[in-house]
Structure formats: structure tokens, C-alpha cells
Amino acid sequence: MTGVASFTIRSYRCLDAAGRPVAEPLPPFARDRDALVALYRAMVLTRTFDAKAVALQRTGRLGTYPSCLGQEAVAVGVGAAMRAEDVLLPYAREQGAQLLRGVTLEELFLFWGGDERGSDYAGPRQDFPIAVPVGTHAPHAAGVALAFKLRREPRVAVCVSGDGSTSKGDVYEAMNVAGAWRLPLVFVVTNNQWAISLPRSRQTAAETLAQKAIAAGFEGEQVDGNDVVAVRHRVETALAKARDGGGPHLVEALTYRLSDHTTADDASRYRDDEAVGREWKADPIVRLRAYLTAAAGWTKDDEERLLGECAAEVERAAEAYLARPPQSAASIFDYLHDELPRDLAAQRAAVAAAGDRNPDR
């Protein structure tokens, strides 16, 4: 018998759980205090927004919301690595990446409050809206990347999804076509160990999720998803390769979902508090703060000032969201087509008329 193929999945980390460097040399940006503070601020702002969103949902002022608690380093690392001209196709926990790319806090509140204006981004006009269905945006990402290739544009599509998505046909098909056509597409799989209540161990027999890229004909790797320095560095490397014609790449970011799946979930029904408590020791924000303190002179005053700024920024956005008059019921039709078909136009007119007769509807 002759072996015909073999592969190795590499794993990357720059900072350990205590914030100590474990890879030398560190990426150049990791020696730039301003760059590190920007990453840290983005993670703190994301967590502050997250806590406010949960509080608004619990008091009936926001819809069902998926917390990104504990996963901030993945989204922030991705957002920091991307260029403005790239296109982000997010799943539901990429708040940190969206904020770095110019989506506003108020827009995020609007989206999770059920207002379509939350997807009409003031900043990244070509970034896709949040994809709540699992994995359905992966074929869209392949289409975006194909457009870049056909137009000969040095741009990259970035598709972020969870570990559960890698068991979906949509994702396999998108990866297959990306490999076959060598598309400028980077898949980031946020492996937070849980697909709602299904643990990673019961979802797939694959030793890593990164190796699923091998079957599609391109490289996959793992990165410590609680190490924002490593995430940014590895995603930047993958983006550079894709931008230069090297084809797609998959980055599996290992992290943990410290929260319930959404505010409609009770994770205590399928996992124990002791296991979650152990994962808190790998908190990505604590890790980068420790490194900032040791290597860049981050002080208690710096910390208190930043926390105050982020809290004030989130509160202003929440107040603006709550003060925004709701859309009319008829507006549900306004985001379906550039020009409504006749039957839908008639329905819209009927809903609008009903709303005029009963303004409270």
C-alpha cells in the first residue's frame, strides 16, 4: 500500500493565558502600544455593548440577543486584520469586527431590536448583514470572492461562522467551490465548543475543524481564539495570501462561549458551572490587559478612563436607539425588492392603510 496524501494542522499562539509572550518574535504591531490599546479598547467596548444588550433584552427593550461574552478576541482580531475595501460576511457574534469596520453601536442595537435600519450601515456599505441562520452566508461569501476575482480586484471576502456551521452543507459547498476556483476568501470558524446545546465532541469526529479545508484543496490552521494578537496576525497572513492570488484559507479560532447561546437559552441545562468557571481563566480581555500592563505601561488610571469612556459611549447609543421612533408596519415590505411586485405592492398598501386608521399598530 502506498500513501497518497498527508497533512499537518498547525496551531498558533502569541500570548499565554497570563499575557506572557510564548512566540518570538511577536508580530510588529504587538510592539506598538497604540495598536495594542486599540485592540484592547475594541474588546472592552464590545463587552460593554454586550452587557447592555443583554440588559435591554431582559427588560423587554431588545429582541432575542446572542451574547459574544468570551469571544471578543476573535471578532476584534478579524476586524483589525481586514482592510476597508474587504467585505465581511458575519454570523451573529461578530459585534467586535463590525464596530471596528464602522458599524455604529446604535445600528447594532437597532438590528437586535428588530429594526431593519440596523443593517443600513453608515460605514461599511458593502459588508453583509448579520446572518442568523447557521452557515447560509457561506455561499454568499464565495459569490463575493468570485466577483473580486473576475474583476481582478485585490480584495478579500471574510466569512465568519461558528463550529456548528462546519457540519452544514452550505459551508462544505462554499469551501469546495472556493478551493476549486482559488477564490480570495478567508473562512474564520469560531470554535466556541457549543452548537447551541450540542458539544463539539458530539458534532463531528474530525480531530480539528481546520482540517476540513484540506478536503476542499486549501490550507487550514488553528489559532488560540482568546489571544487577540495571534488572531489578528494569522488572519492578516491569510488575507495577504488570498489578496495575492494564493487562494482561500481557513482559520479555526479556539475559544469558549461563556454565555448562554442566546437570551432565549439556558445553558445550565446542558453544561455545569464548574466547566464554565475554568474557561473564565482564559478571558481574552484579562490576557491582553496583563500584557499591556507588563509591556506597555498600562495603568489603573488608563483602565478606569477607558471603562468610563466605553460605558458612556454605549449609554449614548442605547439612549439614541430607545428614542428612535419605530418603523411603520408597512416598512417590512421595503427591504425585499428594489421594485415591489404587484401583489406585494397591494399588500403593502393595505398594511399602510390599516396603520393610518390605527396609528398604534
Report the C-alpha gap between 228 and 164 in whole angstroms. 22
Q: Is 261 a catalytic residue?
A: yes
Q: Is 233 a catalytic residue?
A: no
Report the C-alpha gap between 347 and 355 in whole angstroms. 12
CA distances in angstroms from 116 to 75, 120, 343, listed in the order given = 22, 7, 22
The C-alpha angle 99, 77, 162, rounded to 5 degrees, equals: 90
CA distances in angstroms from 342 to 151, 209, 339, 345, 346, listed in the order given = 35, 46, 9, 5, 6
261, 287, 289, 348: the catalytic one is 261
Q: Is 12 a catalytic residue?
A: no
Q: Which strand (E) or helix (H) includes residue 194?
A: strand 194-195
Alpha carbon distance, N-terminus to C-terminus of the chain: 72
283 strand-pairing partners: none
Q: Which strand (E) or helix (H) includes residue 38?
A: helix 33-58
DSSP per-residue letters across 15-30: B-TTS-B-SSSPPGGG
13, 93, 234, 257: the catalytic one is 257
Report the C-alpha gap between 141 and 349 in whole angstroms. 35
Q: Which strand (E) or helix (H) includes residue 253?
A: strand 249-254
250 strand-pairing partners: 187, 220
31, 83, 270, 278: the catalytic one is 270
DSSP structure class, residue 162: E
152: left (phi over 0), alpha (psi -120 to 50) or beta: left
224 strand-pairing partners: 254
Q: Which residues are catalytic?
A: 257, 261, 270
